[in-house]
Structure 1
């Protein structure tokens, strides 16, 4: 009760002020009832963002529990600029086989606070973060021996930033819960309208998060063709309430937990809600999380903004994640890499095929990286034996590493996740001895409690052995890179590799990913395809693959998409000759940023993003198959004049998508650039301070 003095007291119940309350009330049960009643008389507890635009309210719904003792179902709601975004929505945990903790509780304490997340952030979209927040810690408890619940208690921790809200559950150590057996959550998001949502619909709990983000209204996620139905939806989710706000639904700080998904369980054509479902454990699917107390859940995160681009700019996930656990980060370096897999091991003679997967062929990619000024070469699958501490004789990794080192290039190696799970303690010291820079760990395909722990174990043990990590076939990011900056990349996207076998990757998908998958950070899309084709001329093929859309769009992807370790995916020979002038942009563009701004676009249509590295700025803009004429105000530039090196679609790019027109223009912050995007087109611009 010590924090009651921090709450606004209604004059009608002033007799329950802290001093008089402590003096006259001695029974804990009566105290809990009186305190809970006082809070309800104040119409719940409110948590506002520092700028006051977001207001998260907590309350108890006594009608659900049917109780007359002051208890009720714990719930919250959310307002933005005075408009309702989320109506009263349940909060609770499903433990063992008992009634949900949160369905019939009293509020026993509330602690308001405030703070500022101020920290340096390595190798991402910004170099420094300064985010003030207000917080509220709400303690609730069940009545003792009520319905067999034995007085369990929990804490809901909530934060409100100007850019969104977040909350999580905390189970303190208590006699009424001896072991943690969490079946699921009762977390709801009852949206006030039938919002438009861009959702990543997944087949089950074991996927690579590699699919399209589909546009639906929330009601369509529960009722298809008049028939009740459900979608299993992975994070992130983008939502738009017309006349209200744009929202991003995410999670952060998953350590010790399983991942969350959402679904619309209503089955109704009028249902506008999403509820949380936790990925079940593989060894016992009846539970999602097991362990001991104390325990906290992952953060449930809802970004809120007037424009969708502001959701991409926010840093909520890293705000809510632990600070760096890697004391010495001097050995961690971002940078571009050559890559052998996408082009099927093309050698210096222009031949391809698995027969060319040899040490000598891989040296060709090392030489290309050295010539281009790239710090890395990514050696993909096929080099390892069943024992991943040994090579299978096709590529001599230690020899390749020595060869690369003499040319100022370092080598990353591909690994199968199941082998890493079994052998990381034996293998990582060997890789450090070989001089390997990092590991691309593929086909993780799990985000249950043990699967999430695998990410943390890899990150920690890799850091101990000075190894960087790029996760493929995996869950989308959740802020892990703040705690472990050696985790440089995540795939979890329907990327360029799909051009090898079909048509699932196109400018249409890329225009959606820029507003959806990009919400949660680094995305190893493996861009850089230079055999560019129109929608009609494209042919899917494994060897020497093609890409839909223009060459200028491929350049733009290195600015639009965030990725500290992007691959330059095509065959080295495809960057020579007539392609060399456009390839210069890929040699120049950095991979980490001090500042990022979304300055234009429309979800699923086109996007324009600018990023700063030091004193230089870069702009990337791309469109779907619709051509566009854009006017871009350069107000983001600093004072003085800049030379803009512009790589844009050629005048005939609609039919000849390989053609890139390169020009220079002197500009200032008051200038407006006219940009013309071809179908499937783009533009990439490098702004250099004029001397």
Structure 2
């Protein structure tokens, strides 16, 4: 007999339908928060399913739940042993973020299942929020199941219509594709994968697989985002799309043996997340994924975790003006076997001092230096283990001198550890590398995983590497170092648990404008609805020289205006924001550079003013600890007028706004560097109207008088 524990009002309904004696009963349990409602059902074959509604509109039609283990199928034959229900409503303060406090209000249902034929116990845990639903599987401690292998996950998302989707291919090793917009029924990634020769490693065995976060919009104006939260000890979830039936099914990234996950009870999977609203702005404002992650493990002392802007010896390498490597090739050696300098090495002491001087003069806290350590002559595409030494600099990089020089200027150097995908080698050197950072005063590290993964046969998004990224974050936490991971798995809100894991790349960043065909004007209007749903992105904004910057391709250009590059500091959130261009290119536009100098990277409040995926985004943010506000507005390839009501301002104060906007004749393709700066007095009753050029944007600074 099923037992209902602690029946609270949050359980909107519990219904048993009795059938013939030969069939077990079907069971339905519902819970709601605001306009969002979910229903769990256990079908006649003991098969668990769920469904989600927004008001009266179906969002996820009844869809399968379950797992496939190496020895057992956990898809049917279940009975309900009990149901626990709880309600939560509290607030918590992130160490850094888009808001000073976050409210966590949800209703939780835990369905305790047992499969009598095997004796296996399985819990399905649901949390219902006002903006969506999260659910995960949990295995209690039990005699009949200890160590086990997950070979598949049958979790499904049956859509209520053929929605407009914003997607990238479900690749095991990269998230750096350009976005495609199409109906769900038209999803086929084969042409995109074949054409994306600018991506180092591509593994896409399923032409109907897409990566999460997957953003969709229904014909009735419902916005739907599917992703996951708290990805720990499990492979990343992609989605296989059955284009004929509009069924999305979880597709887990396999390991070298084709298995998906190795687990030991008690344990649980990551949360599967469905964020839904009839307003696009609500999707961007959602904190559900963060709320599904565990609290911070950093302890009470987090003063060392500092959001910052940083410059870097990076864009000049991307554009071919200098190199990461010290010598031309690994064979460029003298009679003693020492490397012969090519004369193009960017990370040399004199050049790094130039960037330190630039940062110090403009109040920029950090300088990232790539290419400082030996190994760059023999790294790309080699699939070897021992590539880089993470404590041995090139002969022209004086570690101690640069430490002292930067400290005297009030600037901190940021470490770079490129692994070339050789995660095993990095793990052997991690303690040594982090002690080196502590010794020479590096408070942060940018890691990289360009290349095929070692252990060979593993993938960037498989369970082994997911655990590796967590080990890096944990080791960095022990050494009080913050981390910015590139080429890693896309974020799932773990920056709540590890606040020193401040940013990741895990998407197609601004760098693709340097060595490839770049990013379409709509790209930055899609990213917040997709890649950034799980966490901050190191997009590297702030390019001012928008044409003629690539030595090998003089006709190459960035597909934005200069004003849009400013706006990205607000619309693409990260607590680590790179001041990406060369110092001399900022010197040519010192008035526009003022916005980059003053825009914060940590916030007390965020307002999503207007948004439509693939078209436009306008966001306003209040600086941490003061009354200054900043706004950014961006558009796709179409010009438009951004409308910003200033009702979020204090009604008793007057403010001065500085608007950095596209010039009347600006255009991302023909005239991208044309901008105009104006000032005016405003109050909370003011409504700003700013014209955005095609591919353009605007940045706004708002200060109380």
Normalised-by-shorter TM-score class: 0.7 to 0.9
| Equivalent of 1:374 in 348, 352, 364 | 364
TM-score (norm 1): 0.87
CA change 1:353–1:527 in 2 (3 A) is: farther
* Corresponding position of 2:379: none
Q: Return the offset for 1:543.
A: 9.2
SS of equivalent to 2:518 = coil
Contact 1:635–1:670 under 8 Å retained in 2:
yes
1:79 corresponds to 2:53: yes
Q: Return the offset for 1:359.
A: 1.0
SS of equivalent to 1:78 = strand
Q: Return the offset for 1:572.
A: 0.4
| Superposition pairs of residues 3-42 of structure 1, within 5 angstroms | 3-4=4-5, 6=7, 37=25, 40=26
Q: How big is each residue's C-alpha offset from its partner over 1:363-383, in whole Å with a ceiling of 9 and x where there is no partner?
A: 111111111101100111343
1:61 corresponds to 2:55: no
1:129 corresponds to 2:102: yes
Contact 1:531–1:545 under 8 Å retained in 2:
no
Contact 1:342–1:545 under 8 Å retained in 2:
no
- In angstroms, what is the RMSD of aligned CA positions? 2.7
* Corresponding position of 1:240: 217
| Superposition pairs of residues 444-455 of structure 1, within 5 angstroms | 446-455=460-469
Q: Return the offset for 1:230.
A: 3.6
* Corresponding position of 1:652: 665
Of 397-406 and 331-340, more deviation after overlay is shown by: 397-406
* Corresponding position of 1:25: none
Q: Return the offset for 1:502.
A: 2.4
| Superposition pairs of residues 119-268 of structure 1, within 5 angstroms | 119-143=92-116, 146=117, 150-202=118-170, 204-207=171-174, 209-221=175-187, 230-243=207-220, 245-264=222-241, 266=242, 268=243
1:397 corresponds to 2:399: yes
SS of equivalent to 1:496 = coil
Q: How big is each residue's C-alpha offset from its partner over 1:414-467, in whole Å with a ceiling of 9 and x where there is no partner?
A: 112324233102221121111111110011661211111111111111111111
1:488 corresponds to 2:502: yes
> Quick one: distance in 1 between partners of 2:13 and 2:514?
67
> Quick one: distance in 2 between partners of 1:384 and 1:565?
26
Q: Return the offset for 1:224.
A: 9.5
SS of equivalent to 1:44 = strand
1:300 corresponds to 2:272: yes
TM-score (norm 2): 0.85
> Quick one: distance in 2 between partners of 1:481 and 1:9?
33
* Corresponding position of 1:498: 512
| Equivalent of 1:278 in 239, 245, 252 | 252
> Quick one: distance in 2 between partners of 1:250 and 1:398?
45
Q: Return the offset for 1:36.
A: 7.2
> Quick one: distance in 2 between partners of 1:624 and 1:5?
51
Contact 1:629–1:677 under 8 Å retained in 2:
yes
Q: Return the offset for 1:73.
A: 0.9
Contact 1:194–1:217 under 8 Å retained in 2:
yes
* Corresponding position of 1:678: 693
> Quick one: distance in 2 between partners of 1:592 and 1:60?
46
> Quick one: distance in 2 between partners of 1:224 and 1:11?
45
1:315 corresponds to 2:299: no
1:587 corresponds to 2:597: yes
| Equivalent of 2:612 in 591, 598, 602 | 602
* Corresponding position of 2:444: 438
Q: Return the offset for 1:541.
A: 4.5
> Quick one: distance in 2 between partners of 1:221 and 1:257?
26
> What residue ranges of structure 2 are gaps of 5+ in the alignment?
192-204, 323-341, 376-387, 451-458
CA change 1:630–1:673 in 2 (3 A) is: same
| Equivalent of 1:559 in 546, 570, 574 | 570
SS of equivalent to 2:409 = coil
Contact 1:46–1:55 under 8 Å retained in 2:
yes
Q: How big is each residue's C-alpha offset from its partner over 1:186-234, in whole Å with a ceiling of 9 and x where there is no partner?
A: 10000111122111213x3122x11122112222237999xx9742222
Runs of 4+ in 1 over 6 A off after TM superposition: 7-14, 33-36, 222-225, 537-540, 542-545
Q: How big is each residue's C-alpha offset from its partner over 1:172-195, in whole Å with a ceiling of 9 and x where there is no partner?
A: 121221312111211000011112
Q: Return the offset for 1:479.
A: 1.1
Q: How big is each residue's C-alpha offset from its partner over 1:154-179, in whole Å with a ceiling of 9 and x where there is no partner?
A: 00010001011000000112122131
Q: Return the offset for 1:521.
A: 2.4
Contact 2:545–2:585 under 8 Å retained in 1:
yes
